[in-house]
A and B are shown apart, each in its own frame.
Chain A
Amino acid sequence: MNWLYDFSYLTGGIHNSLSEHFEPSTVTLIEMILAGVAFMILFAILGLVLVYAERKVSAFFQQRLGPMRVGKWGTAQTLADVIKLLMKEPLMNKNADSFLFNLAPYIIMIAAFMAMAALPFAKGLHALDFDIGILYVSAVSSLGVIGILLAGWSSDNKYSLIGAMRSGAQIISYELSVGLSLLTIVVLTGSLQFSTIIESQANGWWIFKGHISAVIAFIIFLIASTAETNRGPFDLAEAESELTAGFHTEYSGLKFAFFFLAEFANMFIVSAIGATVFLGGWMPFHIGGWVGFNNIMDYIPPIFWFFGKVSFIIFLMMWFRWTFPRLRIDQLLTLEWKYLLPVNLMNILIMAFLALMGWHF
């Protein structure tokens, strides 16, 4: 059971057995393919699980049961939905720009894949460990907005275009707050590398060690990342009552499924980053100095800690969506530029002062 606590046993074992039979370059190629397939499987599973979770959570918030017919408690409902989506006819407007129309879903998916590659899932289970980890993730996730803009423009539909413009303005604005709230913690860690950030939380998570500043940063991160993933109450890019479905109005079948999947994948990515930076990633709940307590916590494998924390943040985001009413576009931009951004900048200053005086734990 050692591999459950440290995945480098597993990954190292695969690497060694491959190295015995192949040349180094072939080994790299095989490992790249293996990692790619693993991420694709994770992507598919995430889609299935999160769509089901969203429907169940929304149902419970509205005092309904949600999907109950397909499988026990409706667990096979999303599988049935997938089959339905695969069988749908892919439609396109006559005047649509077919090249960009088909390209847009892939750009969004590629951005999500590239961001996911840098996430640390458990000890030793980490595909890319750059020393610029957080910078890299925010760089590649900023590519997703291009897919949304292209989708809106190439559909030749005014609802799509308005939805894309709203979405673009929203994502570009809120990217700032996401980046700055993460920087607040980077001030404490002194590193952008995910593995170092996690190691630095071995004696307590930053949200507890970083005083009130870290809590403020976490709240700002939650708000801004909910907005960045175009989820309610910030889903005015696809406001059903005004814009039918926003930028993906004209998409059907598998291409629609890609947008849908990318939304949930992005939700998972921002939750994973939040969990890693603020809540210690796969690091178990430790309190500095309590050796016995820490040892008991270490019995729970890191991968369960990681997915537990991510599920917690995802639940928070679903809670937002089904609790708050949707914002108007001017309210949305006011919230970002007049409230979140100034608070964020002040918060970084306070955090830098705390770090300089060594007042954090």
Chain B
Amino acid sequence: METSAILFYTIATIMIVFSLLAVTASKILRAAVFLLFALGGTAGIYFMVDYFFLAAVQLIVYAGGIVVLIIFSILLTSHIEEKMQKPDIWKIILTSIIGFAGATMSIHVITNHVFTPHADTGVVASMDVIGEKLMNYGDSGYVLPFEVISILLLAAMVGAIVVAKRNKPGSND
């Protein structure tokens, strides 16, 4: 086997194992850590295919941002001796059936689809190219989605502040 294939299967195995552990762990913080490893594996795949920018973004946004946020909220709300309740047997059976159905459908589609190799290798996603595309309002630019997402994030932040804001002293609510 080639080196890259060995590397790919190693990372893929890590991702699958930790994804399964993330949904089956009985302690909630352990589940968050397993999720971190699964997300880190995704970043590993991006590094493997030389897409460094997306790999770094994956690490910053998911591992460094979202998982830290999840861990923070667990730290604030749960105690170390708490364990999650075992779900109903019926819930386990139903969710496994749905999960297996989804997985078989995806695998079926992927294995039966004929991937035609492209002649052109596409643009090399260097930092310069990404920066220019992101700020370009011309034909191949992405400044509109970029700005729309920024406004969405801003709205979410304003909403969070409104929710977290303390009422004025004296008011009854």
**A191–B33 touching, CB < 8 Å:** no
**A154–B71 touching, CB < 8 Å:** no
Distance, CA A142 to CA B54, complexed state (A): 16
Nearest-Cβ distance from residue B103 to partner chain A, whole angstroms: 27
Which residues of chain A are within 8 angstroms of B68 by Cβ–Cβ distance?
142, 145-146, 149, 168, 172
With A28-B3, A153-B29 known as contacts, the answer to whether A142 contacts B75 (CB < 8 A) is no
Contact digits for A121-133, partner B, Cβ 8 Å, 1 yes 0 no: 0000000001110
Nearest-Cβ distance from residue B42 to partner chain A, whole angstroms: 13
Distance, CA A150 to CA B126, complexed state (A): 35
Distance, CA A191 to CA B127, complexed state (A): 8
**B75–A164 touching, CB < 8 Å:** yes
Q: How many A-B residue pairs have CB under 8 A?
A: 86
Interface size on B, residues (CB 8 A): 28
**A99–B80 touching, CB < 8 Å:** no
**B80–A139 touching, CB < 8 Å:** no
Those of B30-86 within 8 Å (CB) of chain A: 30, 33, 36, 52-53, 56-57, 59-60, 63-65, 67-68, 71-72, 74-76, 80-81
Which 6 A-B pairs have CB atoms at the shortest separation, nearest pair first?
Answer: A142-B64, A139-B59, A139-B56, A25-B3, A139-B60, A135-B56
Which residues of chain A are within 8 angstroms of B128 by Cβ–Cβ distance?
190-191
Question: Is the CB of A97 closer than 8 A to any CB of chain B?
Answer: yes
**A139–B64 touching, CB < 8 Å:** yes
Instruction: Select one of A132, A135, A146 contacting B67, CB under 8 A.
Output: A146
Which residues of chain A are within 8 angstroms of B30 by Cβ–Cβ distance?
97, 99-100
Closest to B40 in A: A143
Nearest-Cβ distance from residue A182 to partner chain B, whole angstroms: 14
Those of A138-187 within 8 Å (CB) of chain B: 138-140, 142-143, 145-146, 149-150, 152-154, 156, 161, 164-165, 168, 172
Q: Which residues of A are in contact with B by a Cβ distance under 8 Å?
A: 25, 28-29, 95-97, 99-100, 103, 130-132, 135-136, 138-140, 142-143, 145-146, 149-150, 152-154, 156, 161, 164-165, 168, 172, 190-193
With A25-B3, A149-B75 known as contacts, the answer to whether A136 contacts B52 (CB < 8 A) is yes
In the complex, given contacts A103-B33, A142-B60, A149-B75, what are 17 additional A-B residue pairs having Cβ atoms less than 8 angstroms apart? A28-B3, A97-B80, A99-B30, A130-B52, A131-B127, A132-B53, A136-B56, A139-B57, A140-B59, A143-B59, A149-B68, A150-B29, A150-B33, A153-B29, A168-B68, A172-B68, A191-B127
Closest to A93 in B: B80
Q: Which residues of B are in contact with A by a Cβ distance under 8 Å?
A: 2-3, 27, 29-30, 33, 36, 52-53, 56-57, 59-60, 63-65, 67-68, 71-72, 74-76, 80-81, 126-128
Nearest-Cβ distance from residue B2 to partner chain A, whole angstroms: 8
Nearest-Cβ distance from residue B132 to partner chain A, whole angstroms: 11
Which residues of chain B are within 8 angstroms of A100 by Cβ–Cβ distance?
29-30, 33
**A149–B71 touching, CB < 8 Å:** yes
Which residues of chain B are within 8 angstroms of A138 by Cβ–Cβ distance?
60
Instruction: Select one of B52, B64, B65, B75 contacting A132, CB under 8 A.
Output: B52
**B64–A143 touching, CB < 8 Å:** yes
Distance, CA A132 to CA B124, complexed state (A): 13
Distance, CA A130 to CA B51, complexed state (A): 10
